[in-house]
Structure 1
Amino acid sequence: MSNYTLKSQAELPSLKGYVSIREAAEMLGLARKTVYEYVTEGRIPGVKAGDIILVRVEDVENFKPNISGRPRTTIPQWRISPADNTLFQTRIFVHIKPGKLSEFRQRLDEIRRQKAHLFPGTIARYIAGSQKDPQQVEISLIWRSSVAPDEAVRQQALEEFKQRLADVLDWENASYDEGSIFMHA
């Protein structure tokens, strides 16, 4: 953020009709950095007040992000993959070690930033929490058979991923499941 020093929320001046970049980000459901970039690009007008930037509430409420790509005009229909290009899924159910939730989330962020979550040949990767059991996560990897690497390469990638999370996830008691995807959208 160039030469700006971040101040705590309590130190920010309060101007009627204006919000900080942090508040604008919360209102838009975006990262602070993204809103800051929009302000520096001029997509959202900002006003410098001392050493901080403020944004009019009206400008935040009226902001429409540019949608990339062509907007959908129809909802995709369910598809069945051709026999020579089926999708299959690897699902892993694993518990977060006690007291390690915050560290787990930080580690996932590191993995994402380093692009260490891109398993070779996968077309989708999900890590989801459970409402029923907040300490359990499900890791779901979707593979397209026509481009999936062989079993040894997939297992090696999974082992490397497991090692990165070995101190925060209980891999010893994890359960694994694999299967074909019958239909997808």
Structure 2
Amino acid sequence: MALNGMLPTSDYAEDQPLYHFILTTHVVHRVLPIGAFISSAIPLASTFILRRAAVHPLTVLLLRSNSTGALVSLGLGGAMTLGRMWGRADIEWKDRSWRLLRNTGQAQLDDFSAAGLVAGALLGAAGRGPLPLWRGAVGGAGLGTLAGTVAFVVWKSTLGKKNEQ
């Protein structure tokens, strides 16, 4: 079952329920992999390019950096949605939410990314080292959305095209 299948949708955009929640959640969910990419670049560059001696293992550095990046991404995603949709009529919110739920490619990407988020949160919490549980889980969730997005791109560029023919 697709993740989007769990969200209520209507036959017509005008009747779409939970439209503010759906659109805001979508934007935040799409910003998380970008934040994870940027947040991963910092400890990776410090370790491999600048060759600084790490006090903690690379996994701990990545989880710590990505937990901060995920929280910043949450705030930015909410602000981006608010800034873009400020003053818009409810029908515009409903239409965008409805189209997101009806877009097959977007639904597939969201499914991959959500699966990565859950797996990443569990793995991050388990392998957090000296970090608090929340930092491991949140950092892992951010990395998981990035891994899920990359997996979707790879799948779509290889297997996905074969299935469409």
- Taking structure 2 as the reference length, the TM-score comes to 0.22
Return the structure number with greater helix share: 2
Greater RCO, CA 8 A, separation 6+: 2
Q: Considering only CA atoms, is the larger Rg found in Structure 1 or Structure 2?
A: 1
- Taking structure 1 as the reference length, the TM-score comes to 0.21
